[in-house]
């Protein structure tokens, strides 16, 4: 099963979804701004990506500064809660394919997990 955490307003997200379709992958599209992932889902996504929670944060997003997160020293659990509470801060798009995941920046990154 393949899932893409998608923002239709994002060019990279649209390109990644198109790339999946070009490769015959019928992905479950999750509009994560409308259906934010839970803390448990985020924890699993981060594990599959093999990154720290803070690496999934869009630090250039205006909301990041508005929330006073620049220079913040948060625990992994606190970063995950922040992402769950403010899905706009989640890096996008994220593709989960089986037990692997990739961030589609650039979109071709997801081809690695489809093999």
Domains within the chain, CATH numbers bracketed: 2-114 (3.40.30.10)
Residue 89 annotated in active site: no
Average pLDDT score over residue span 93-104:
97
User: Is the Cβ–Cβ distance between 101 and 49 less than 8 Å?
Assistant: yes
| Choice among 10, 33, 74, 114 that is catalytic | 10
Beta strands in the chain (DSSP E): 2-6, 28-31, 94-97, 100-103
Backbone angles phi, psi at 52, to 5 degrees: -85, 150
The whole-model pTM stands at 0.95
- pLDDT tens per residue, range 7-64: 999 999 999 999 999 999 999 999 999 999 999 999 999 999 999 999 999 999 999 9
Give the list of residues 6+ apart from residue 55 with CB closer than 8 angstroms, or none.
Answer: 49, 91
Opening angle at CA 53, ends 83 and 57, nearest 5: 55
Tell which residue, 82, 90, 79, has the closest CA to residue 30.
90
């Amino acid at each position: 099963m393949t899932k893409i955490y998608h923002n239709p307003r994002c060019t990279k997200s649209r390109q990644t979804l198109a790339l999946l379709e070009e490769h015959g992958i019928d992905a479950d599209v999750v509009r994560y701004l409308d259906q934010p992932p839970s803390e448990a889902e985020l924890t699993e996504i981060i594990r599959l990506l093999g990154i720290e929670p803070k690496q999934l944060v869009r630090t250039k997003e205006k909301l990041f500064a508005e929330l006073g997160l620049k220079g913040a020293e948060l625990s992994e659990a606190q970063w995950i809660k922040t992402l769950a509470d403010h899905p706009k801060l989640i890096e996008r798009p994220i593709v989960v394919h089986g037990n692997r995941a990739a961030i589609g920046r650039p979109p071709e990154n997801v081809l690695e997990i489809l093999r």
